[in-house]
Structure 1
Amino acid sequence: MEDKRCALVTGGNRGIGLEICRQLALNGVDVILTSRNESRGVEATDKLSISGLHNVVFHQLDINDPLSIAPLVKFIETHFGKLDILINNAAELGIIFINDKEFKAGGGFVQLVDEKAHLLTNIVKEPYELGEKCLQTNYYATKTITEALIPLLQLSKSPRIVNVTSVYGDLYWFHNEKLKHELQDIENLTEGRIDEIIRMFLMDFKTANLEKNGWPLTTSAYKVSKAVLNAYTRLMARKYENIMINCVHPGYVMTEMTSQTGFITEEEGAKGPVMVALLPDNGPSGAYFNRTQVAPFSSIDAPFK
């Protein structure tokens, strides 16, 4: 029993997060399903239990609320003694769908490319406040929960961190070559510099200078949040050589978050994060996986059209 693995999944009550919990449990891993909303988290855990998966437990967690992190850490210490796998799945899109029907008819997220930005103002909007919240959740809150759980991961014989990212985190979407180079140059990049880059983006976002300074123009904050998460993943992999730390794009999945648009099911989308969480000890660290394949952090061609 001492060697049984324990995993924690943020945002585990629905969509890809719930399916990741299910697939990990099917692989014999004890799973802590976390959710900001307690009733939804309990309901999700009960559904898994009814299906025969009794190795999933619920614990409330709002990654944006530091006060909810301490009780979770104590819970893991008391009930499991260590943490083997952390899957950072909780995220915000940072946009509002104004015309859901037209969004779906136009191809969903595939149409959200910068060349069409001027044509999309009646379909989606990205208010500054939502963009700011997107960066706070997808980057800063993910960092906070990760760093709080590092001591428990260090107690594992085979620790793993999987950051669920997106093809939108690909540096292809950036038009500022200097920034692209900085975010790729992991030997010289620092967390402090990432903070500066985020502040630069938010200032340009607020003052309508995104195009002028080479930022993504559509789903801007989401793209920046995932790009800096990818960079942070690589920094962490260098810092903690004994922890396998990777980021995974699950694919364009049909979920509530994507307004039920996408190319693949939740079950298919969860396969990548689960595979990377269960990689053997000689697997890569600091890598980006597009679904189940290692891919570059910066593509030459559009990751999808």
Structure 2
Amino acid sequence: MKTVLITGANRSIGLELVKEFSKKGLFVYLGTRDLEKGQAVVKELSENGFQNIKAIQIDVTKPDTILAAANIVESEQGKLDILINNAGISGALPQSAFDTSINDIQNVFDTNFFGVISVTQAFLELLKKSESARISNITSGLGSLALHSDPNWKYYNFKATSYVTSKAALNAYTIVLAYELRDLPFKVNVIDPGYTATDFNHHSGPGSVESAAAFIIKHTLTDENGPTGKFFSNDIEDETVISPW
């Protein structure tokens, strides 16, 4: 049985990913900052027929919880097949380039960028023990420099200093990571689930969590010939355009 860890998985897209991976027969670690809340979610899922799910405490901004989570996965599974770096924050809006404080920017980067690196590095050895490791870093089209430079892009006028730059940095990190793992059976991609109605945006997005999760899973459960080091967006109609970095 393959094992997947999803950070920020107790609600919204993360929770939907938990459900869908469970349906597909994977063992799912539901990553959550608050273990009691995570366990309550797992209990409810179990009562609704979902199996092989365990809540695991992991705050991507706290190294001790990351290390503890890695130790649990190692002792229980001996390896990790899939890592979904889903946890993220937007930061307070608006975020002007003129006056957004360094503290606010650092706070967003701590979760969206440094947190992803911390989790990835902590679980890398367990992922190397998988025959087909997958790392999916969940991003946003708002992190695409190419799209943000196109005045015809539908979200061109939404600029947010902390969030946009943190996701752009995440995209760049993904390219570097994929390159360094190119000779191993890894597929490392950055995936934009699209503008989805979640707690994250006060349910303002037009997309559903079901569509977002399906898109992420589609570009995560790829075979040995699948791409690596690419950007996929659920907001781009033509999926052949896979690298609008």
TM (normalized to structure 2)? 0.88
Matched to 1:161, the amino acid is I
Correspondence 1:89 to 2:86: yes
Q: Which residue of 1 aligns with 2:68?
A: 71
Instruction: Select which of 279, 282, 285 maps to 2:228.
Output: 285
Matched to 1:257, the amino acid is F
Deviations 1:124-179 (A, max 9, x none): x955433221111110111011011000000000100000000101103666xxxx
Q: Which residue of 2 aligns with 1:145?
A: 119
8 Å Cα contact 1:45-1:58 kept in structure 2: yes
Q: Which residue of 2 aligns with 1:164?
A: 138
Matched to 1:151, the amino acid is E
SS of structure 2 residue aligned to 1:71: helix
Q: Which residue of 2 aligns with 1:185?
A: none
* Cα separation, 2, equivalents of 1:262 and 1:217: 14
Instruction: Select which of 185, 209, 225 maps to 2:166.
Output: 225
SS of structure 2 residue aligned to 1:226: helix
Q: Which residue of 1 aligns with 2:241?
A: 295
Between Structure 1 and Structure 2, whose CA radius of gyration is higher?
A: 1
Unaligned runs of 5+ in 1: 98-111, 119-124, 176-215, 300-305
* Cα separation, 2, equivalents of 1:94 and 1:295: 29
Task: Tell me how far 1:247 sits from its aligned partner.
Answer: 0.6
Taking a change above 3 Å as real, the CA distance of residues 223 and 173 of structure 1, as seen in their structure-2 partners, is farther
Matched to 1:235, the amino acid is V
8 Å Cα contact 1:230-1:247 kept in structure 2: yes
8 Å Cα contact 2:93-2:160 kept in structure 1: no
* Cα separation, 1, equivalents of 2:173 and 2:227: 16
* Cα separation, 2, equivalents of 1:290 and 1:96: 23
* Cα separation, 2, equivalents of 1:87 and 1:9: 5
Q: Which residues in structure 2 correspond to 1:1-305 (within 5 Å)?
A: 4-96=1-93, 128-172=102-146, 218-241=159-182, 242=184, 243-291=186-234, 293=239, 295-298=241-244
TM (normalized to structure 1)? 0.71
SS of structure 1 residue aligned to 2:46: helix
* Cα separation, 2, equivalents of 1:42 and 1:232: 32
Task: Tell me how far 1:223 sits from its aligned partner.
Answer: 0.6
The sequence identity of aligned pairs, in percent, is 31
SS of structure 2 residue aligned to 1:141: helix
* Cα separation, 2, equivalents of 1:9 and 1:254: 19
8 Å Cα contact 2:142-2:148 kept in structure 1: no
Taking a change above 3 Å as real, the CA distance of residues 65 and 168 of structure 1, as seen in their structure-2 partners, is same
Task: Tell me how far 1:53 sits from its aligned partner.
Answer: 1.0
Q: Which consecutive segments of 4 or more residues in structure 1 shift more than 4 A?
A: 125-128
SS of structure 2 residue aligned to 1:244: strand
* Cα separation, 1, equivalents of 2:2 and 2:242: 30
Taking a change above 3 Å as real, the CA distance of residues 39 and 130 of structure 1, as seen in their structure-2 partners, is farther
Aligned alpha-carbon RMSD (Å):
2.2
* Cα separation, 1, equivalents of 2:85 and 2:50: 21
Taking a change above 3 Å as real, the CA distance of residues 294 and 87 of structure 1, as seen in their structure-2 partners, is farther
